[in-house]
Structure 1
Amino acid sequence: MVKIKEGYVMSAKEKAEYERVNALPRKKEGFAAYYFKPQTKYPPRIYVFMHSEIWCDRNRRPMGLFYAFPFLTRPMNREKIEYHHFNTRLCYHQYEDWDKLLFAERQEADQLDLENPGTGSSFLEKLNSFRTKYRLNANKVLKSLTDEELLIRSLFDNGHQMDAAQISRMLCEDHKGPKRLPVIIMLRQLYKNAGLPPEQRTVITEELLSRKVKVSIDRTRRNLVRRVYHGNKLFALEEIRESYPGYTEIQLLADLRIPKSKNRKIKKQPYTDLRRCQLQKLAAKIARGGLDAKEYHTICCRIVMLQQAHDCRVPIPLTVTLDKMTEIYSFSWKTRESVVKSFVNLANTGGMTHDILKARHQEMVSSNYSY
């Protein structure tokens, strides 16, 4: 009595396999086993395995029932034995609701009663007795939603379709009336989104709403605690407990504590003036080491001279000799290293004269541009 989909045409290989299995003798009996799988990351459920007597324990390993034992078994009726004659894999059903399980098993019990009177009804009675022992989540009574929860769900579903005027009207009504904090925060976020383009709007989720509500409640409590403590330190705890019963001293200390602001790192601008750049290079030479006494003494003397000139803000003299004529060009003490180097490169250019250098030097010194 295998069910083949109407209009389905079997291939030659499928037809040969069907005829081979169909020619095999039918099993005289079979058993269905019932296993309970407790709550894991998935809800609790009941598995019903067909022909459980012919399958090994390892076949139940994917369901996490390798070491489990059935809490109930029943014989399979002839119709089911015929139906599962063509099974090549373990066949099972799973239920997360007792009502659905009993509805399905009631039909099996009726067939068993026809074959062997009383067998099906006694089995159904036994199965129903396990209902209190093995509870399923689907049998929990769902609590009725409050008006506030219904309104929030409605705002989640339809809030994006409301315009700013409607949201503002609802916000004013809630402020004047019940002052429901989750509703007010939800409406505020919707009002903010209404004035933004679609790509910049915040996606409102239940987690976001819960976090904002918690932050608001904590902020209100801290403000009250600090205000009361500032006015009356001696009896502050008793006064706070009138608004927050069970408030403890540990909570008081936590609410009064003001977190330290993070010290901002002062960004140091890199040194760019000639003398300090030279001082850094000389200091790096000493840090690298490997200098003999003469080189070390020379570098130290150079550092002292540069540091003293920098402290006294002595202008930077630059001696240039062209055509056996020597001129000294003076730059400000804070002139950048790159500027002095560019002037040196200009002086080293072929065919350069002091007249050109003086004109360039005068331009650099008199210009408002930060050379």
Structure 2
Amino acid sequence: MVKIKEGYVMNAREKAEFERVDALPRKKEGTVAYYFKAQTKYPPRIYLFMHGEIWCDRNRRPMGLHHAFPFLKRPMNREEIEYHHFDIRLCYHQYEDWGKLIYAEEQEAERLDLENPGTGSAFLAQLKEFQYKYPLVQTLSPVRKLAAEETPDEQSELVRSLIENGHHYSVSEIGKMLDEEQNGLKRLPVLILLRELYRSLATDEPKPLQITPEEVEHKALVSANRTRRNLVRRVYKQNQLFALQEIQLKYPGYTEEMLQADLKSKRKKERSIKHKPVLDYRRSQLGKLAKRLREDNLNEVEYQKTCCQIVILQNAHDLRLPIPKPVTYAKQTEVYSFNWKTRETVIKSFVQQANSTGMNHEQLAKIHEQMTGSNYSF
């Protein structure tokens, strides 16, 4: 019978769906398929696919069992068929421990024996034989035991050995060494190297690490300094008066000068302010005139004339006056006005066309109308 949590009250929609599925005929039989998944970067495990006869190969693709074959099958008992009758998706179980798997299957084998005597016992005997063929607890090769205290030479020798031969270990072996080191001596260079090995073996194909013992020592030094600096700043923030005494409990010989050095933060690089390029006609002219005043050796008359031009342009820009461009053909002068923010390239293009041969006011007026009436001209 399907298991419903005690005290759970179904709403109208759930009750209607339950009654609809409950009214459907039950399957007369079903199969449980057992698959073994060898260790990759995850531990080895055994998958149990309920109603294995309806599982397609593509359904097992997420588990990495697309091309796999079951090593054992058994019929489902009536209680299993009834329970999984209400499944809305394909159902499977996974085990990483033979003890838990056998305990669970013993319960199902008893029910099989009640329905068909001898079936469950025969299946259970077959299942227990496979626990030696498919071990779930990875047998690790003996790892070098760490002494209670090691000299720096022994630590350096261990680092060099791991760099040269670490890629021959499996992921589980490196993981066990990492646990032992974290719970034991906690040597920073060894921990850093083991983490690099674990990351390399778990993500890529086994290959020697491209790192030197000097680089490992440098990383360890940087990490130790960062850890000390973070501790100092945290303690100082909580208790400034007795911060030095509290830090000295962790780092004997810690001085006031070291405290000030650790509290000093690096000055952040000031971000340069980005300026948009000057494109409009008047400001471009103002920039050119200002450059002329700075760099050219002007006489008094030219200097005064340039200053007057700057004042006139600046006032017109501040008042947002239109830009006038007088054009004379056959002693007839017309003034063509442009918006005060018109780009310099547009004005130069207009002047170039006005100076072309055969141009008259009628043609130029059409060009001016196209320029001022287009959204892409400014």
TM-score (normalizing by structure 2): 0.51
- 1:319 paired residue number: 326
d(CA) in 2 for partners of 1:162 and 1:332?
75
- After superposition, give the CA deviation of every residue in 1:48-96 in whole Å (9 maximum; x if it has no partner): xxxxxxxxxxxxxxxxxxxxxxxxxxxxxxxxxxxxxxxxxxxxxxxxx
Equivalent position SS for 2:273: coil
Q: Higher mean Cα deviation, 223-232 or 306-315? A: 306-315
- 2:250 paired residue number: 243
d(CA) in 1 for partners of 2:204 and 2:373?
53
- After superposition, give the CA deviation of every residue in 1:194-253 in whole Å (9 maximum; x if it has no partner): 68899xx99412222122111110110011111111111111111101000011000011
d(CA) in 1 for partners of 2:177 and 2:361?
82
d(CA) in 2 for partners of 1:223 and 1:255?
9
CA contact (8 A) 2:346 2:377 kept: no
* Structure 1 counterpart of 2:338, from 312, 331, 345: 331
- 2:220 paired residue number: 213
Q: How does 1:1-371 map to 2 (within 5 A)?
A: 148-159=155-166, 171=178, 174-175=181-182, 178-190=185-197, 203-369=210-376, 371=378
d(CA) in 2 for partners of 1:235 and 1:307?
63
d(CA) in 1 for partners of 2:182 and 2:377?
59
Number of matched pairs:
227
Larger Rg belongs to: 1
Q: Where does the alignment leave 5 or more consecutive residues of structure 1 unmatched?
A: 1-142
d(CA) in 2 for partners of 1:186 and 1:368?
63
Structure 2 counterpart of 1:208, one-letter code = E
- 1:51 paired residue number: none
d(CA) in 2 for partners of 1:184 and 1:223?
19
d(CA) in 2 for partners of 1:263 and 1:342?
41
* Deviation of 1:154 (Å): 2.6
* Deviation of 1:330 (Å): 2.5
Structure 1 counterpart of 2:264, one-letter code = R
Q: Alpha carbons of 1:196 and 1:281: their partners in 2 closer, same or farther (altered >3 Å)?
A: farther
d(CA) in 2 for partners of 1:144 and 1:240?
26
Equivalent position SS for 1:327: strand
Equivalent position SS for 2:368: helix
- After superposition, give the CA deviation of every residue in 1:328-367 in whole Å (9 maximum; x if it has no partner): 3332323222221122112212223444434443443344
d(CA) in 2 for partners of 1:155 and 1:167?
10
* Deviation of 1:187 (Å): 3.5
* Deviation of 1:293 (Å): 3.0
CA contact (8 A) 2:325 2:337 kept: yes
CA contact (8 A) 2:279 2:343 kept: yes
d(CA) in 1 for partners of 2:360 and 2:246?
89
CA contact (8 A) 2:324 2:337 kept: yes
d(CA) in 2 for partners of 1:318 and 1:197?
70
Equivalent position SS for 1:318: strand
d(CA) in 1 for partners of 2:245 and 2:197?
39
- After superposition, give the CA deviation of every residue in 1:268-320 in whole Å (9 maximum; x if it has no partner): 44433222222222223323454333322221111100111122222222222
d(CA) in 1 for partners of 2:202 and 2:324?
63
Structure 1 counterpart of 2:317, one-letter code = H
d(CA) in 2 for partners of 1:179 and 1:147?
15
d(CA) in 2 for partners of 1:264 and 1:231?
32
d(CA) in 2 for partners of 1:188 and 1:210?
14
Q: Alpha carbons of 1:230 and 1:144: their partners in 2 closer, same or farther (altered >3 Å)?
A: closer
Structure 2 counterpart of 1:357, one-letter code = L
